[in-house]
Amino acid sequence: MTEEEIQNIREEQEINKTKIGIYGVYAVDRDLSLEEVKERLDEGQEFVIRLKSPGDPNKEVEVEDSIKGKMKFPEHNVDTVLLKKDGTPTYHFAHAIDDHLMHTTHVIRGDEWVSSLPLHLQLFEILGFEPVKYAHIAPITIKDQETGNIRKISKRKDPWFGVKYYDENGIPIEALHLYLATITNTNFEEWYLNNPDKTIFDFEFSFDKQAIGGTSFDEAKLVNLCKTYFSRKSAEDVYNETHAWALKHDTDYAKVLEDNKDDMVKFFNIEKDGDRPRKDISKYSDVKEEFSYAIDEYFKNEDYSKYDGDKTYDTDLVLDYVNNYLELDVTNEEWFNKVKEFASNNDYASSPKDYKKDPESYKGHVGDICEAIRVMITGRTKTPDLFSIMKILGKDKIVERINLYKEHIK
C-alpha cells in the first residue's frame, strides 16, 4: 500500500469515527495472490509485512495481568506491521521473537502497553509460542509547577529524571534503588526501616504489592531514604565514597579529605552506634557543608555565618571551663558531670528542669553553657555529639576557636 492510500483510509476512518488501522475492507492488499505479489515486487514497489490477523472485534479476550489482575479486551483484528520497509522488525514482532528465544517468563513494562496485550497474545498464539506473563507498571508522576496538573515525569522538564542529576549531586545509586523499591512494593519502606541489618536484596518483591495507579515522585521520601542509607554506612565507607565522588566533581575538596582523612573518619563515626544513628547527610555533596567545622580553613572562612542566632556568648566563662574543668580522656558521662559541676559553681542550674522551676535564681542552665561551647567551636547550634567533636579537635584547637569567636563579637 502506498502512503497516499494509507492516508486516505485514515481520513475516511476519522470521518466515519471508526477504528484507525488496516483491517477488514481497509486491508486492500490482504488477499493478493502470490502471482500479484511477485509482479509488484518485480516492479520494485516498496512493501511492508503485516500480520494477517484472525481476530474478531465482536469477541472478547480475557487477559491476566500480574499487577492489574483480570482484564477484558475486544480481540485484535488489525493487520499490524511486523517488518518495516527497510526490513526492521517492529517492537511487537521483536518482542514476541526475542522473548521466546530468551525463554522469558515475565515481561514488566509501562502501562502504556496495556492496550497492546490482545495483539501480543495473538502473536504468541499464531507463532506457536508459550505466552509470557505480563506485569504493567504505573508511571511515576509529578505535579506540573506551571499548570498544576498531574503528569508523567519528563526528561525534558524534570532534572531528576536523568542519571546525571544523581551523579552530579552525589546521590548514591544504591539509595536511588531504595527509593524505586518503595514505588515497586508498597511494603518495602516499612520493611527496610525495620531491618537495619538487611539490604534490598533480602527483600522479597511481589506483584500483588505493586501500586496499580500512578505513583507521585516524592522528593522528601527520597531524601529521607538517603539519610537512612548513609546512617547505616560505616564511617570508613562514607569517607571512601565521598572521596570518590569528590575526585570527579570537586577535586579541591578531595584533596582536603585526603589531608584530613583520619579526623574526617572520626567525625563521620560520631553517633554511628546505637539504635538511632544520626541522619545528617543525604548525599555526598552535603558532606562539605555539613562537616565544614571539621576543617580549620573552612571554619575560619565561614566567620560564624552558619550561626543565625542573635545571642552573644560569654567567652571568658567558656575559657574558664576549658582551662580548669575540661578533660578529654574521660567518658561522655564523666565529661557532662564536670560540665554540670562547672555550671553549679557559676550560678547556672545543673539541669534545664531546675532552671525552669526557679529561673530567677540562675543565670541559665547547663544546656546554655553547652550551647555556647558548641557555637564557639563549630559555628552552629546543631551538631553531632559535642563531646565527641571536642575530643577530635583537642584542647588547643578548642581554645583557638574560642578566641576566634571572641574576635568575631568585638
Domain residue limits, the chain: 1-47, 50-137, 150-231, 235-277+284-290, 315-408
SS3 assignment, position 88: coil
**E strands within 26-152?**
49-50, 60-65, 69-74, 81-83, 106-110, 133-137, 140-143, 150-152
The CA distances from residue 186 to 107, 182, 210, in Å, are 20, 6, 6
Over residues 127-152, the mean pLDDT reads: 90
Over residues 184-213, the mean pLDDT reads: 91
Residue 148's pLDDT is what? 85
Residue 276's pLDDT is what? 85
* Helix, strand, coil share of the chain (percent; to 5): 55, 10, 35
Residue count of the chain: 410
Over residues 247-256, the mean pLDDT reads: 97
CATH 3.30.70.20 assigned to domain 150-231? The reply is no
CATH number of 315-408: 1.10.10
Over residues 305-330, the mean pLDDT reads: 93
DSSP per position, 245-261 = HHHHH-HHHHHHHHHTH
Distance from C-alpha of 245 to C-alpha of 169, rounded to nearest angstrom: 9
CATH number of 50-137: 3.40.50.620
- 214 pLDDT above the threshold of 80: no
Taking all residues of the chain, what is their mean pLDDT, rounded to a whole number?
94
Residue 187's pLDDT is what? 94
- 243 pLDDT above the threshold of 90: yes
Over residues 49-71, the mean pLDDT reads: 94
* Positive or negative: CA dihedral 151, 152, 155, 159: positive
What are the beta bridge partners of residue 365? 349
- 144 pLDDT above the threshold of 90: no
Residue 213's pLDDT is what? 79
pLDDT digits (tens, 9 = 90+) for 89-126: 999 999 999 999 999 999 999 989 999 999 999 999 99
Over residues 35-49, the mean pLDDT reads: 95
Over residues 306-312, the mean pLDDT reads: 86
- 307 pLDDT above the threshold of 90: no
Helices (H) and strands (E) in the chain, counts: 19, 11
Tell me what percent of the residues of the chain surpass a pLDDT of 70: 100
Strands 348-349 and 69-74 turn out to be: unpaired
Residue 124's pLDDT is what? 97
Distance from C-alpha of 344 to C-alpha of 341, rounded to nearest angstrom: 5
The answer to which of 95-109, 152-166, 258-272, 363-377 has the lowest mean pLDDT is 152-166
pLDDT digits (tens, 9 = 90+) for 363-387: 999 999 999 999 999 999 999 999 9
Does the pTM surpass 0.85? The reply is no
What are the beta bridge partners of residue 141? 152, 216
